Amino acid sequence: MKLRIIIGAVALLAAGAGVWFWNRASAESAIVASAVPPVPDLTNGNAALRDAVVAADNRAHSLWRARSGLEKLSRIYHANGFIPEAMKCYEGLEQLEPD
């Protein structure tokens, strides 16, 4: 009987943790999605830059790696002179980590 109670408690805790993580990831993804700028026209630019932007943009639109994608996008845009796009990314990162 005690084993059933322990198993039930562990299952309940696991379910609660799963819901908490899902809600946190969903809320973070919503902030990131609003902070990801449209991809600028890179058709005449460097292919490596275009590939890096597309990869980071895809990551920023994923559920579990959104923040790291936004971080990567901010660095790529800033380093390559896309300052308005970088600033939009920074604003979203600031919402995620105000301190």
| 30/63 Cα distance (integer angstroms) | 9
- Rounded to two decimals, the pTM is 0.73
Whole-angstrom CA distances from 3 to 7, 9, 10, 69 are 6, 10, 10, 43
Six token digits for residue 19: 């819901």
- 48-84 per-position pLDDT tens digit: 999 999 999 999 988 778 899 999 999 999 999 999 9
pLDDT at 5: 75
Contact at 8 Å (CB) between 82 and 57?
A: no
Q: Which residues does 92 contact at the CB level (< 8 Å), separation at least 6? A: 31, 32, 34, 35, 36, 70
More confident residue, 35 or 10: 35
